[in-house]
Amino acid sequence: MVGQTGIYVTWVTGAIILSVVLMPILKPPWARLTINGFLDMFRRYWMHALVVFSVYVWKDIFDGLDRILMANTRIDMTAYIYAIEGDIVVWFQDTFAHPILTSVLTHFYVVGYMMIIFSAFVYTCYFDDRHMADRISLTILSTYLIALPFYLFFNVRVTGDFIPEMQTIGYQLTPEIQTWFTRIDPFTNGMPSLHIGMPFSIWYCYARNDLDGRWKVWRYCLIIYTSLTAFTILYLGIHWVSDIIGGIVVGMLSVHFSERISSRVWWVLDERSFLHRVSWLLADWRRPVNELKLIFGAWFNWLKVPGSHQTGVAIMLLLAGTGGTLLWDATHQHFPAEGVTHPGSASGADGWLASYEVIDEENITVTLWNLSTEESYHQNFRISTDWGSFPVEILIGESHIVVWHGYQLEFFNLSKNQWEGQWLTGPLFDDITMLSNDDGDWPRMVMLNDGEVEIRHRGGIDCSIANACTHLPTAPNGPVSMIEADDYRVAYVETETPMSIHVQTTSGIQQHIIVEVSAVIDEERDEQVFQMTDTLVDYQNATITEIVLDHEHLVVLVNLSSVNRLVMVNLTSGEQQILGDPVFPVAAPSIGHGYVAWQHQQFLVSNNPVEFDLDWEVRYHDILLNQSYQLHPEDDIDQIQPQVMEEHIAWLQIDDDNETQIRVFTIEVVFEPYSSSTLQIFILLLPLLLLTWISQRLKENEGSILKRSLLNEEE
């Protein structure tokens, strides 16, 4: 997006310019500035640059992994942080709230962070302080790597996304900024705060290694910046106080860690000798072979004499292997539904998933999966084309699965696990859906027949008592354009009121609810939609194009000419909420068992599309937690028609070769047998290794402890 790219380029450019402008003030007192110095810097410190800027590569990779891990496990520690802190952070936003301060601190939050990292690297390299450059480069990388396990396994949401009284006012400053933050920030990486951890670790590294005071002014600036950043992240509704403490701890650990490994790392990667060593190795093919032999030989000799160091390495490898296995399993919780080669569509409800495959013009194969028992059922049907060709639709209800094709309905009895009965209807219905059985053997079918709603127990031509056909308890005021049903309620939209939904009960206590749906957002974001589509958001001619319904909520798809929006309505309280990002296309909602799923084209700019953003992705929303998640990694293939079922979400996946596959996602994490075996091995081996390590440490320290005690006695 031009706006997003523009704001990002502006921030990066501003950070670089600010870093260069401040160099005369922050440089060592005796140093001089020249243009050639920048060229010489990159020639002498290119490996340091790779180490520092690799952080951004790792961040992109692991942010995507974190989104999937969060969607699969929904690990959320925010409630525990809130239980400790309460509403402390609310005071900062309420007390100092001002539009100018918000704008200034938002840009400071991004530009300042970029400038600090860039300056810390550039200053030491430009002024050829190799001792400091070695440690600063490793400190920046290790700060992120030490924080990474918390981001993956200790998810803490930003304060403005958790506390109702707060907002992420920095993220929402403008539509362009909001979209940019949505793209790059999972909103769950609160603990620890790298906006504190990075500058603090840089300052701490300078404080420990600036022995002659050449960086004294720069150190003072880092203290001021870190203090101001602490206020900024609390005020903007981004971080908790605990995140700041976590950032300081991570910063201290990273400095001590980088100092321990610095000499060994730069002995290998030092630019002054790295290329020479590579050239020497490649000059003769036997040299790298001999070097590898020496390395493996040294490792083998090291392992031949078991000690606490060797056992410690074994423990670390065991932890890494077990953690990696579980991480892989937790991020791969979806699997293909076997039995269908080219599915035409998918439908799901409760514990059942259904799909069909076209054999030829007059024959289809319907496949049903019982996901709780892992059983599947296949049935071939001849679809009558005498009266025309119609799409095949599959409906799943409380007692039956129905395959609908024009005038033909086929029924599968879920309790008996068998196909039974067929309806041939007289009229060609515009739409059909299912209610509960109401103590009958056959499901009650709700039919939309030329603008009228009919409730039928069996087929027939006319809607009459003889055909067990009735109407809604309260007749609609005019023609109906759309219907949906769940259990004992029917939802419908009348043609004359395209943004009103009527919900009527068909049995028990009679209720008739009318919901006026609103898909309105702020004008700035509507303007953003216009810039991306060249079409105005048309509220005057808005129409509801799709309804899905469950016991407590309904979700509607609203067409606004330039964009579709999803609106979820709580049928008890009447509260309405827009799901997903309202400036990008959404479609195909599904609801059930406390979740809503839909397909979306996040970040698609219709009038200037990027190929990577053209495909459909699937998201789902946890109604209880009020959180939405990306269901799978971002890619360039289509995932469409999501279906919410009990404990599962299914969708169609269309790859680059136009091959279609049904994927099934397990909402609750279910580890594969290999993960369970890995955990069992870990539980058995870890105590043995720990006892071995303790025993080895006691033996290794026995002599030194005895010597120290004798020396103390002599003194």
**Average pLDDT over every residue of 40-59:** 86
Last residue of a domain, one of 240, 255, 275: 275
Residue 384 or residue 404, greater confidence? 404
What confidence tier does 611 reach under pLDDT thresholds 50, 70, 90?
confident
Residue 180: inside a domain: yes
Has residue 312 been placed in a domain? yes
Q: What percent of the chain has pLDDT over 70?
A: 90
Percentage with pLDDT > 90 across the chain: 20
Number of domains making up the chain: 2
**Using CA atoms, how far apart are residues 186 and 49, in angstroms rounded to an integer?**
26
**Are 267 and 321 in the same domain?**
no
Judged against a pLDDT cut of 80, whether residue 669 lies above it is answered with no
Neighbouring C-beta atoms of residue 159, cutoff 10 Å: 31
Residue 410, in any domain of the structure? no
Neighbouring CB atoms inside 10 A of 374's CB total 8
Q: Could you tell me if residue 19 is inside a domain?
A: yes
Mean of per-residue pLDDT scores for the chain: 82
> In sequence order, what are the beta bridge partners of 402?
395, 411
> At which of 226, 254, 275 does a domain end?
275
Kindly state whether residues 46 and 80 are assigned to the same domain.
yes
* pLDDT above 70: residue 595: yes
Domain annotation covers residue 108: yes
Looking at residue 258, its amino acid is S
Compute the distance between CA of residue 151 and CA of residue 193 in angstroms, rounded to an integer.
10
Q: How far apart are CA 420 and CA 117, in angstroms?
A: 69
Does 295 share its domain with 251?
no
pLDDT in tens, 98-146: 889 999 999 999 999 999 999 988 898 888 888 889 999 999 999 999 9
Classify 276 as helix, strand or coil: helix
Q: What is the pTM of this model?
A: 0.76
The answer as to whether 219 is a domain residue is yes
Report if residue 493 sits inside a domain: no
- Stretch 473-492: mean pLDDT, rounded? 88
Q: What is the pLDDT of residue 706?
A: 52
Which pLDDT band, with edges at 50, 70 and 90, does 62 fall under? confident
List, in sequence order, every residue forming a beta bridge with 662; answer none if it has no partner: 652
10 Å Cβ neighbour count for 8? 18
Tell me the pLDDT band of 660, cut-offs 50, 70 and 90. confident
List the domain range (segments joined by +) for residue 296.
287-333+672-714
Whether residue 159 is found in the same domain as residue 291: no
Distance CA 710, CA 704 (A): 10
The whole-number average pLDDT for the span 441-467 is 77
Q: Are residues 27 and 77 in the same domain?
A: yes
Same domain, 119 and 76: yes
Residue 292 shares a structural domain with residue 261: no
Q: What is the CA radius of gyration of the chain?
A: 32
Same structural domain for residues 186 and 235? yes
Helices (H), 509-634: 523-533
Query: Do 271 and 291 reside in the same domain of the chain?
Result: no
The pLDDT of residue 142 is 93
Query: 192 preceded by cis ω (within 30°)?
Result: yes
In a domain, 635, yes or no: no
Residues 390-412, mean pLDDT to the nearest whole number? 82
How many helices (H) and strands (E) are present in the chain, helices listed first? Answer: 17, 28
pLDDT at 1: 39
Are 132 and 218 in the same domain?
yes
Q: Could you tell me which residue, 10 or 415, shows the higher pLDDT?
A: 10
Q: Are residues 211 and 317 in the same domain?
A: no
Residues 310 and 248 in one domain: no
Length in residues, the chain: 715
The pair of three-digit structure tokens given for residue 571, joined into one six-digit string? 């049928």
Task: Look at residues 275, 300, 317 and tell me which one is the last residue of a structural domain.
Answer: 275
